[in-house]
Amino acid sequence: MNDFSKSVDRRAFSSEKWNRASIAGICGNPDALPFWVADMDLRVSSDISAAMHREADLGVYGYRDSGALKGLFINFMRERHDTVLDEDRVSFAQGMLHAIALALNLFTKEGDRVLLPYPSYHPFIDMITKNNRIIAPYHLKRTASGFALDISAFAKASEGASCILFCSPHNPTGIVFSEDELRAVLTLARDRGQVVLCDEIHADLAHPGHRHIPLIKANEDVGARVVGFAAASKSFNIAGEHCAFALFSDSGMRECFERAQQRLYLTQPGYSVAVMAEQAYGKGLEYNRALCQALKDKLDRLEDFMTSRTPELRLCRPSASFIAFIDCSAIMDRVREDRKASPGFYGENYMLSHFFGWHGGICMNDGTWFGGDDYEAYVRFNFGCGDDLLEEGLKGLEKAVAAVR
């Protein structure tokens, strides 16, 4: 039975999220409760726990035969996303970010422009610049309820780019793109000869009432050059275990990717990740469905609380996953005054994170991490935790806002 009402106490287990020095680095206050980095405090499925117990008891962790994993993933994609994958167009990869970086290196060249939607998960910003490509920024349109894709502005921004680095569902806004939106992006890319790389790490966590469509499926009768990237990391809360799959629109791209992996000796999953991912993809559908429902319930609680108790803050309600972007524009002038009055609370960066860290005792990612000053009025709140901890987080939001009312 899955119990998503309780957090697992990870304090004694080297969790990055709960590490006091890391928390201080984000929000100044080492005692703040963590609602930042994107892993959850919720227990994994009993199948994953049981398999790990069995392996622990075995006491030997040699080379593992992980040949079944790809087939389990392909079955999961069919059942969870109604998407039939051709085995010849799927590759295992040792983690999401390295797989995307490898594809970026293979399918674009130095000096190329890469369209990146903002706000953006920070490693994408780094990845493009560190690999000597140029970011062509597209800022998602701000709407009354959050952010949205404006396809004509997107088309303009992506002129001259050789690649689109997309994230679907989108981190940090939680947008689940519609089939029409995905097809519009793909059609543009096809007509302009652009390759689309699409991080779908949050795909399995679309909330009830929302449907994620894998880009590779939306592309079936469009015919753009596409690589989608899937992983069990977020969906099954095994984010520290790097394991991903790359889904190619043609087998030539797959061969090119696998040749590069072979040159770099990046072809095999580690032992423990294979154990966990086999359980996740082989037996995880029911866990995954229950988790999606639990996340929606937690989000409803967050939204109700914010509407009644912190009306100054605006929730950009996500349609997937366990992270929510919160618009704090209405209190920014007062936060700036607070920084002038109490400079000791604030560091050089992450003003809003420091404000909530010290006044509310809660640690959230600062909006500037997702694209600089344009997003300084936002924080990202991770609600993937037990109900008690969530209540502490809500109190922290209110306490901080009350300090500048």
Is residue 81 within 8 A of residue 203, CB to CB? The reply is: yes
Q: Which stretch binds ligand PLP (CB under 6 A): 25-33, 52-60, 95-103, 356-364?
A: 95-103
Say whether 276 sits in a helix, a strand or coil. helix
**167 sits near ligand PLP (criterion: CB under 6 A):** yes
**140 sits near ligand PLP (criterion: CB under 6 A):** no
Q: Which stretch binds ligand PLP (CB under 6 A): 92-100, 135-143, 182-190, 344-352?
A: 92-100
Nearer to ligand PLP, 157 or 239 (CB): 239
Binding residue for ligand PLP, selected from 28, 51, 90, 95, defined by CB under 6 A: 95
Binding residue for ligand PLP, selected from 74, 97, 215, 316, defined by CB under 6 A: 97
Nearer to ligand PLP, 95 or 396 (CB): 95
Which long-range CB contacts under 8 A does 64-69 form with residues at least 24 apart?
A: 64/269, 64/271, 64/274, 64/275, 66/268, 66/269, 66/274, 66/278, 68/278, 68/282, 69/269, 69/274, 69/277, 69/278, 69/281
Give the whole-angstrom CA distance, residue 234 versus residue 100.
17
Residue 168 identity (one-letter amino acid): S
Q: Which stretch binds ligand PLP (CB under 6 A): 91-99, 180-188, 273-281, 297-305?
A: 91-99
**182 sits near ligand PLP (criterion: CB under 6 A):** no
Smallest separation, CB 234 to ligand PLP (Å): 7
3-state secondary structure 23-73: HHHHHCCCCCEECCCCCCCCCCCHHHHHHHHHHHHHCCCCCCCCCCHHHHH
Closest C-alpha among 209, 234, 230 to residue 319: 209
**199 sits near ligand PLP (criterion: CB under 6 A):** yes
Binding residue for ligand PLP, selected from 23, 27, 38, 198, defined by CB under 6 A: 38
Nearer to ligand PLP, 99 or 302 (CB): 99
Q: Which stretch binds ligand PLP (CB under 6 A): 94-102, 209-217, 218-226, 305-313?
A: 94-102
Q: Which stretch binds ligand PLP (CB under 6 A): 90-98, 152-160, 260-268, 284-292?
A: 90-98
Closest C-alpha among 328, 316, 321 to residue 362: 328
Nearer to ligand PLP, 167 or 196 (CB): 167
Nearer to ligand PLP, 74 or 231 (CB): 231
Smallest separation, CB 11 to ligand PLP (Å): 21
Q: Which stretch binds ligand PLP (CB under 6 A): 45-53, 86-94, 231-239, 363-371?
A: 231-239
* Prior bond of 169 cis (ω within 30°): yes
- Enter the DSSP assignment of 253: H
Smallest separation, CB 37 to ligand PLP (Å): 7
Smallest separation, CB 368 to ligand PLP (Å): 17
**40 sits near ligand PLP (criterion: CB under 6 A):** no
Specify which residues 143 forms β-bridges with.
146
User: Which positions from 233 through 292 interact with ligand PLP, judged by CB under 6 A?
Assistant: 233, 239, 242
The tokens for 19 are 């590490």
Smallest separation, CB 391 to ligand PLP (Å): 24
Give the whole-angstrom CA distance, residue 62 versus residue 268.
13
Nearer to ligand PLP, 121 or 154 (CB): 121
The tokens for 129 are 């610049």
Closest C-alpha among 317, 380, 362 to residue 122: 380
Helix-then-strand count for the chain, H and E:
14, 15
Binding residue for ligand PLP, selected from 85, 231, 294, 390, defined by CB under 6 A: 231
Specify which residues 135 forms β-bridges with.
114
Q: Which helix (H) or strand (E) holds 170?
A: none
Interacting residues with ligand PLP (CB under 6 A):
38, 95-97, 121, 167, 171, 199, 201, 231, 233, 239, 242
